[in-house]
Structure 1
Amino acid sequence: MTTSALYDRSAQDAAASVIANYSTSFSLATRLLGTRVRGHVRNVYALVRLADEIVDGEAERAGLPADAQRRLLDEFEDETFRAIDRGFSTNLIVHAFALAARECGIGEDLIRPFFASMRTDLTETSHDAASHDTYVYGSAEVVGLMCLQVFVNAGRPAPVSPDAELVEGARRLGAAFQDVNFLRDLADDRGRLGRDYLGIGDGATRAEVLARIDHDLDVAALAIPRLPSDCRRAVTTAHGLFAELARRLHDDDGAQRVSVPTPVKATIAVKAMAGFPPRRTDA
């Protein structure tokens, strides 16, 4: 193995470690991806996770004020673009993301909105309908679009653009994931972070948010069967996990954070492996 290949593999191993430690559900879904795409999807999510830690997690717990967090985020974004340009970063997670971006055509049009939404977390504590949609596009929909770029382009000699139905499905799935997380983390976001992403009690209602989630999941379900075969089972599993969370949120009284028990997760994954289509609420 060449030194370059060893460094690339080490970077991708670091990205896989981040995901394995931070999200059991996502780690389960990515294990169902084909080897063609699995590493690059982990690379994307590791970068997203680290950016989120700057604005929501470890940087704050380390006592860094908002202006210091912003500088760190700006530096992280700048290093991401430098790594894509030159094909190397001393930050292993950034290096791994650059591998995915360069091969799969993940460009500035997707990366800039993501960092813009992360930056919003340092200055905005509440959202109306318009700012919610802008935030969710940058924080979640573009992440779905980055993964779609990987699904369509990993292993190709040159990247191509996904078709409109796949793009819409990726956006809707990302938005549903984000709104589910907002709803299940509502108490913590308000209490610990002082943030209100959904505007519940100030215009929006819980029922309206859940109806939007169900609609987004249904639109995504229509597109998933059109994904490359080595991606469908994993995306169907992820869709199923969040559809189950949404179902439980419909019955939730808000007393505790809802979750999907491990046996239920396993059943969802087994059904996806067996070729069952994504569950739809409008079927």
Structure 2
Amino acid sequence: MDALNLYHQTTLACSKLITQKYSTSFSLGIRVMDQKLHSPIYGIYGFVRFADEIVDTFHHKDKKYLLDKFREDTYEAIDQKISMNPVLHAFQIVVHQYGIEKELIDAFLDSMAMDLDFSLYNDSKYKQYIYGSAEVVGLMCLKVFCEGNQEEYEQLKLPACKLGSAFQKVNFLRDIKSDYEERGRVYFPEVDYKNFNRTKKKEIEEDIQKDFDDAYEGIKRLPVGAKIGVKIAYLYYLNLFRKIKKLEPETITLRRVRIPNIKKLSLLLSIYFGSKLGLEE
């Protein structure tokens, strides 16, 4: 391996490590995809994970400066086709190899910037945020899965967006306590956190279920190399969603809903082997 390829592979390995450290479920989902999809999906996850960390974690720092610098460095990496930031170098490789449009990257970074300014979201801002923070990430991954087949990509765009939307809304329900208490955010429109009730919770859950249903139609039509991995992530989030649905509103405003790691691993493995054997619908 020559020195340049060694650098490429090292930066992609950094994004793989980030994925493994931050997400058990997505890591296993990626691992069961076709080998050729691993590095580019890790490259996307590393990029979006670190941007999200800027707005969610570094409370003692100037977040706006950090995010603006991250945006500037991202486009410089893409333009120059190199970066000494390994996460951005890995991401620019994926951007060029799979033709990820600037519009998707802009929308994602714009949604991250919204977290610096908005604490209460109306319907318009809510939809904009979900598109930028989740749906476009699904579209970036779909670019990889379709490997240049634009017709296939266009056919699967809507369900890919729905899947990202479902995942993000489940995250909002799961993290409603920490988002409000630690970051001062309430993402769901017309939700009073201190008076969150069954009616509003059920309304949100019906919206999420529709996203899951629409997304599954697309999963069934995904390229074979990606299908089982995406299905694992889908079924993991669906199980988490079902657990949240059983809880009273006051429960999820008092504690974060978790699936213990040992149970998570057992669930993910059962989903994987069930999918391989054709036991899962």
Residue 227 of structure 1 aligns with an amino acid whose one-letter code is L
Question: Quick one: distance in 2 between partners of 1:93 and 1:231?
Answer: 23
Partners of 2:178 and 2:256 within 8 A in 1: no
**2:33 corresponds to 1:33:** yes
Residue 264 of structure 1 aligns with an amino acid whose one-letter code is L
When you count helix as a share of all residues, which structure comes out higher?
2
Bigger shift: 99-108 or 159-168?
A: 159-168
Partners of 1:236 and 1:277 within 8 A in 2: no
**2:80 corresponds to 1:86:** yes
Aligned runs of 1:211-250 on 2, under 5 Å? Answer: 211-250=206-245
Distance 1:183 1:237, change over 3 A: same
**Any stretches of 5+ residues in structure 1 without a counterpart?**
279-283
Query: 2:138 maps to which residue?
Result: 144
**2:127 corresponds to 1:133:** yes
Query: 1:194 maps to which residue?
Result: 184
SS in 2 for 1:97: helix
Query: 2:166 maps to which residue?
Result: 176
Report the aligned-residue RMSD. Answer: 1.7
**2:272 corresponds to 1:265:** no
Partners of 2:179 and 2:185 within 8 A in 1: yes
Partners of 2:146 and 2:153 within 8 A in 1: no
Question: Quick one: distance in 2 between partners of 1:218 and 1:165?
Answer: 16
SS in 1 for 2:116: coil
Question: Quick one: distance in 1 between partners of 2:68 and 2:275?
Answer: 39
Query: 1:209 maps to which residue?
Result: 204
Distance 1:163 1:30, change over 3 A: closer
TM-score of the pair, normalised by structure 2? 0.91
Partners of 2:232 and 2:272 within 8 A in 1: yes
Query: 1:281 maps to which residue?
Result: none
Aligned runs of 1:16-165 on 2, under 5 Å? Answer: 16-57=16-57, 59-60=58-59, 63-64=60-61, 68-153=62-147, 160=150, 162-165=152-155
SS in 2 for 1:195: coil
SS in 2 for 1:121: helix
Bigger shift: 90-99 or 244-253?
A: 244-253
Bigger shift: 164-173 or 195-204?
A: 195-204
SS in 1 for 2:121: coil
Partners of 1:148 and 1:162 within 8 A in 2: no
Question: Quick one: distance in 2 between partners of 1:232 and 1:218?
Answer: 16
Partners of 1:252 and 1:258 within 8 A in 2: no
Partners of 2:121 and 2:186 within 8 A in 1: yes
Residue 258 of structure 1 aligns with an amino acid whose one-letter code is V
Question: Quick one: distance in 2 between partners of 1:275 and 1:97?
Answer: 34
